[in-house]
A and B are shown apart, each in its own frame.
Chain A
Amino acid sequence: MEKFVDNLSPMDLMRSEKMKLVQLIIPVESAHRAVSYLGELGLLQFRDLNAEKSPFQRTFVNQVKRCGEMSRKLRFFKDQIIKAGILSSIHPVVEPDVELEELEIQLAEHEHELIEMNSNSEKLRQTYNELLEFKIVLIKAGSFLVSSDNHTVAEERELSENVHSNHSYDEASSLIEQEMGTADQPGLRFISGIICKSKALRFERMLFRATRGNMLFNQAPAGEEIMDPLSAVKAEKTVFVVFFSGEQARKKILKICEAFGANCYPVPEDFSKQRQITREVSSRLSELEVTLDAGIRHQNKALTSIGYHLTQWMSMVRREKAVYDTLNMLNFDVTKKCLVGEGWCPVFAKAKIQDALQRATVDSNSQVGIIFHVMDAVESPPTYFRTNHFTNAYQEIVDAYGVARYQEANPAVYTVITFPFLFAVMFGDWGHGICLLLGALVLIARESRLSTQACVQTYHV
């Protein structure tokens, strides 16, 4: 079989490239560099010689863990940048590569700084949101109370009428007597606050049940989306005022407010006092705004400076993790202090690989060269097709169904013609065809610009 295959004329894309099993013996000091240069070439597929070992029995497990930790920090930075709404720059700063250890230290510093800034601004933000809510409650609840002040007496009568008509006589009358007896202040008292609009209906129902209907619930929408102090989520809110009488009812209502996450703010009944407090709150709000803005600007500066380097760092960490994963596949020979690896490579790439290994030896100042020799293989080699930019797309479509075996005829050659043909037959009309043609021309014209953006994969076709 081997002889037959070797005597075939070269058939380019029609059949797989001829592959050879090679063995590499790499001294430890040049191992990392060798693997990273080989990775850049992309022409050698390593076999996993440590397949039976679990992930944390492998040699380079600590480095892999460190890379994992670094990529977690980078994801955290990315989240923070997106949350702060900073647009990442289209042309990131390309600096010379930083060493992995230095990068680790830098990342730890940045993370620490960011977490500190976040916690500082959080307290300020919470106070700011609470004050904002207080102001809105004052404004809206004020309008309820102005009308209610004049009608307190009338509402009391109305309330007792309501109670009599809604419930059975015995329960209601005894309740009213009881509450009249224990009320600290005569007449209606109220609690004012603000609650998420989505919960308002359930809240009202719960209050109704808990006080057996002896309450009056007024609500008005807050008008704009406010950030909740505790959960830091923007939501539509409603201002509410609950009128009730009696100490028992007050305790229950407060508990229910707490359970639903409604924030209660005291609103004075007197109109002039309301205005005074509103003015105080507004002035405090503007002070806090200034402080918060300064904090946000500082944070944005830090995030922007991180953002410049972010893509570069991410690709670096990914590359390092891939290198260590590959190094984990090699067999570590402790006595001779070298790593033994096996892999498949195409015949035409042999010179390039040897060149890369040579460079690695020189660059790492190693005394011993890397040994690279061909071995005989029992099993069938993996398939490798040399494709260019255009044929790569068709090759990928065919590979999705199944990769051709070694030296099997490659169906992708035929799909270059048949695939567009069948696609067109499916569509079958001028209009669609013209639209697709225009779309494709746009994509091709913008190819260079689109390929530098992050979503390269989708535009490959």
Chain B
Amino acid sequence: MYGFEAMTFNIHGGYLEAIVRGHRAGLLTPADYNNLCQCETLDDIKMHLSATEYGPYLQNEPSPLHTTTIVEKCTLKLVDEYKHMLCQATEPLSTFLEYITYGHMIDNVVLIVTGTLHERDVQELLEKCHPLGMFDSIATLAVAQNMRELYRLVLVDTPLAPYFSECITSEDLDDMNIEIMRNTLYKAYLEDFYKFCQKLGGATAEIMSDLLAFEADRRAVNITINSIGTELTRDDRRKLYSNFGLLYPYGHEELAVCEDIDQVRGTMEKYPPYQSIFSKLSYGESQMLDKAFYEEEVKRLCLAFEQQFHYGVFFAYMRLREQEIRNLMWISECVAQNQKSRVHDSVVFIF
């Protein structure tokens, strides 16, 4: 019953909620970001990070550091925390935690299939995959030549199997089809996740539907902007939009017919929550759109922690940590390439 979660949540979820809130308190603070932005070399970054929670993961790296090493070790920390939480979780929470990683699985599948298309080595591709989205038979994706084989050989065993019914065609895989496949899979995943959260009910349903709706709308806008000028037809574009969210269904109608960014802006400004995002951009500019969306997402994720006794904190924590790793990657790249003036272009502060 909504409003009475305090009576029963802690029986199964109390320990993990405490753990996740502890992790959340360990995210980098503004003082940390301030110091990191002032670093001159990657060694300084490593030294500063060794005073934070990333210390044990970075302390054994020998001195000439690469940005990829830093990012890899920080991701390793996230993966360790996730695995600890997953093995301690009981039923609805363990399924919920697994849902969080399906997005990464989809990304990994697409990465390997694209890489195989361009004749890359399988082991090299496996190293680039995100560790949260790994599953057992992922390496055999390299054998498949079209989508039906892809499904029949490998994906039927994975949790992604139910998302495939809408996008099986007999065509061979090429770049365009792979992108469409990725977006179709992601759409099915978001809708499934949404339904699952609705079934859980209570505070989880409310908070997660808000977060997932934002995600769906953001993807709709990104799909629209990325497909302007390509050969994707309007109907195809409409099929890639999810069936929920603030923009459903009228916003999608309008977005489907947009032909350039200003039209997109015109459509989005009719919705008050997104008006503030688009008002930050001047006309004709789209590079800052990503950063604006990230900032809005971070704001909403932080708000999820204000309420207790729901599963949204786990989702919010994973996303916030990923954003932090993105920040670290950007800062390390700027420092490594001596372009510290551009550091604040893409760093989103999490407070």
Contacts and interface: CB of A to CB of B under 8 A. Distances in A.
Partners in one complex: yes
Interface in B36-67: 38-39, 43-44, 47-48, 50-51, 59-63
B60 A72 contact: yes
23 contacts: A54-B35, A55-B35, A56-B35, A56-B44, A68-B47, A72-B60, A72-B62, A76-B60, A202-B136, A202-B137, A206-B137, A206-B154, A209-B152, A209-B153, A252-B143, A255-B140, A256-B140, A258-B122, A259-B122, A259-B137, A259-B140, A260-B139, A260-B140
Contacts of B63: 69
Interface string B185-206: 0000000000000000000000
Contact of A56 (B47, B62, B139, B153): B47
A72 B57 CA distance: 12
A432 interface: no
Interface of B: 35, 38-39, 43-44, 47-48, 50-51, 59-63, 122, 136-137, 139-143, 152-154
Contacts of A76: 60
Nearest to A199: B136
A69 B60 CA distance: 9
B47 A75 contact: no
A69 B261 CA distance: 51
A75 B60 CA distance: 8
Smallest CB-CB A-B distances: 10 pairs = A259-B139, A259-B140, A54-B35, A255-B143, A209-B153, A56-B44, A206-B140, A256-B143, A256-B140, A259-B142
Contacts of B137: 202, 206, 259
B199 to A, nearest CB: 31
A210 B143 contact: yes
Contacts of A209: 152-153
A65 B142 CA distance: 45
A202 to B, nearest CB: 6
Contacts of A259: 122, 137, 139-143
Interface in A72-101: 72, 75-76
Nearest to B126: A259
Contacts of A61: 47
Given A54-B48, A65-B47, A202-B137, 19 more contacts: A54-B38, A55-B48, A55-B51, A56-B35, A56-B39, A56-B44, A56-B47, A56-B48, A72-B59, A202-B136, A206-B140, A210-B143, A252-B143, A255-B140, A256-B140, A259-B122, A259-B137, A259-B141, A259-B143
**Which among A55, A61, A259 has the greatest number of chain B C-beta atoms within 10 A?**
A259
Nearest to B154: A206
A259 B152 CA distance: 17
Interface of A: 54-56, 61, 65, 68-69, 72, 75-76, 202, 206, 209-210, 252, 255-256, 258-261
A252 B144 CA distance: 9
A158 to B, nearest CB: 25
A68 B59 contact: yes
A206 B48 CA distance: 47
Contacts of A55: 35, 47-48, 51
Nearest to B43: A65
Contacts of B60: 72, 75-76
Contacts of B48: 54-56
Nearest to A258: B122
B78 to A, nearest CB: 23
Nearest to A75: B60
A126 to B, nearest CB: 15
A69 B63 CA distance: 8
Nearest to A73: B62
B11 to A, nearest CB: 28
Contacts of A252: 143
Contacts of B139: 259-261
Contacts of B153: 206, 209-210
B43 A255 contact: no
Contacts of B38: 54
Contacts of B47: 55-56, 61, 65, 68
B175 to A, nearest CB: 21
Nearest to B121: A258
A379 B136 CA distance: 61
A258 B154 CA distance: 15
Contacts of B59: 68, 72
Contacts of A68: 47, 50, 59
A261 B122 CA distance: 11
Nearest to B116: A255
Nearest to B45: A56
A206 B140 CA distance: 8
B49 to A, nearest CB: 10
Contacts of B35: 54-56
A258 B136 CA distance: 14
B33 to A, nearest CB: 12
Contacts of A261: 139
Nearest to A261: B139
A303 B338 CA distance: 41
A69 B47 CA distance: 11
Contacts of B50: 68
A191 B342 CA distance: 56
Nearest to B156: A209
Contacts of A258: 122
A206 B138 CA distance: 11
Nearest to A54: B35
A255 B140 CA distance: 8
Contacts of B39: 56
B149 to A, nearest CB: 8
A105 to B, nearest CB: 16
Contacts of B152: 209
B295 to A, nearest CB: 26
A258 B50 CA distance: 39
Contacts of A65: 43, 47
A249 to B, nearest CB: 12
B323 to A, nearest CB: 23
